[in-house]
Amino acid sequence: ITHYVNAHPMALVELSEGKTILESAEVHKAMKGYTDPKKFFIDKIAEGVGMIAAAFYPKPVVVRTTDFKSNEYKHMIGGSAYENDEENPMIGFRGASRYYSPEYKPAFEWECEALKRVRDDMGLTNVKVMLPFVRTPEEGRKAIAVMNEAGLVQGENALEIYAMCEIPSNVILADQFLEIFDGYSIGSNDLTQLTLGVDRDSALVSAVFDERNDAVTRMLSMAIRACKERGKYIGICGQAPSDYPEITRFLVNEGIDSISLNPDSLLKMRQVVSELEHS
Question: 272, 266 in Cβ contact below 8 A?
Answer: no
pLDDT tens digits in sequence order for the chain, 279 residues long: 888 999 999 999 999 999 999 999 999 999 988 999 999 999 999 999 999 999 999 999 999 999 999 999 999 999 999 999 999 999 999 999 999 999 999 999 999 999 999 999 999 999 999 999 999 999 999 999 999 999 999 999 999 999 999 999 999 999 999 999 999 999 999 999 999 999 988 899 989 999 999 999 999 999 999 999 999 999 999 889 999 999 999 999 999 999 999 999 999 999 999 998 887
Tell me the β-bridge partners of 186.
Answer: 165, 236
